[in-house]
Amino acid sequence: MSTLALPDKKTIIGRFAPSPTGPLHLGSLYTALASFLQARCQQGRWLLRIDDLDTPRNRPGATTAILSALENLGLHWDGPIAYQSQHRAAYQAILDQLDQQHWLYRCDCSRKILTGETYSGRCRTRFLSRDHPHALRVKTHTQNIEFIDSLQGAIKEQLTAKLSDFIVKRKDHIIAYQFAVVIDDHLQQVNEIVRGCDLLTSTPKQIYLQQLLGYPTPRYLHVPVLIDPQGYKLSKQTLATAVDTRNPSAVLFTLLELLKQQPPAPLRQASAAELLAWAINHWQPAALANQQTHTAP
């Protein structure tokens, strides 16, 4: 009897990539749990990366607080933690390569000159000297970037007007988020990204960079952003409070309700491990489809 080889199933690699600008609030844990469940329900890997490049915004103790919150909830990640601050040489090498290929140019436009989200390309032909304080922008073109978000559907119109030469290295020498995230996701072989809808407008820029660098584009699932009853996004800027994870079951139950997974009431008494096992088995990301915000109580 002949045996049929099973087709090679690609391992799903997801990740959670918080910035250490403060402890995790309900909104960030909501995204963390969604990305964890999405990876785990497909027997995938779930990586943790600390996006700590924006040093003026980093807060002492934030990374430790983030790690202990995830551990308390039983959201165990695979492999070593990646720190963007340790990848600066890799980013610079790729910037140098793009520079040699004339994809980058120096720009000294102040915020005052810039209006709205599009950049006029004013510095494209100014050829500023290297010694002059400058940011680096990548040249873009008018071709639309379109993609299908697994939760939000076809995304195209959001960008065409907004996609313009964008900054890949800031004037203060900090590598821009858009650039670092693309390099890291590629180096870590991330092929499925679950994150908040607040980053939906960044995604076309990232896809543009992936195409420029010849990287594959991961699958995206942008989950709703939690907002407060006044309509403001829960964020460190709006002083969203850190979640007390000393009672992990209660936190997980609340998060699962917010993620519209309808955990059965008797699970309120369950341990965190039991709740996560239930959630992995029952994970229905489609419950979040076509919603960009969700009001937290």
Residues that bind ligand GLU (CB under 6 A): 17-19, 51, 181, 195, 199
Using alpha carbons, select from 177, 181, 174, 176 the residue that is nearest to residue 213.
Answer: 181
Q: How far is the CB of 188 from ligand GLU (least distance, A)?
A: 12
**Is 203 or 249 the residue whose CB approaches ligand GLU more closely?**
203
Would you list the DSSP string of 42-99? TT-EEEEEE----GGG--TTHHHHHHHHHHHHT-PPSSSPEEGGGGHHHHHHHHHHHH
Min dist CB 27 to ligand GLU, Å, is 10
What's the closest the beta carbon of residue 277 comes to ligand GLU, in angstroms? 26
- Give 82 or 251: the residue with its C-beta nearer to ligand GLU: 82
Structure tokens that stand for 117 in this block: 């989200």
Taking the complex as a whole, how short is the minimal distance between the CB of residue 151 and ligand GLU, in angstroms? 14
Give the E-state strand segments of the chain in sequence order.
13-16, 45-50, 82-83, 104-107, 135-138, 147-149, 153-155, 166-169, 192-196, 219-223, 225-227, 293-295
CB of 247 to ligand GLU, least distance (A): 25
Q: Which is nearer to ligand GLU, 119 or 179 (CB)?
A: 179
**CB-wise, 19 or 245, nearer to ligand GLU?**
19
Instruction: Pick between residue 82 and residue 276 the one whose CB is nearest to ligand GLU.
Output: 82
Identify residue 219 by its one-letter amino acid code: R
Closest CB to ligand GLU belongs to which residue? 51
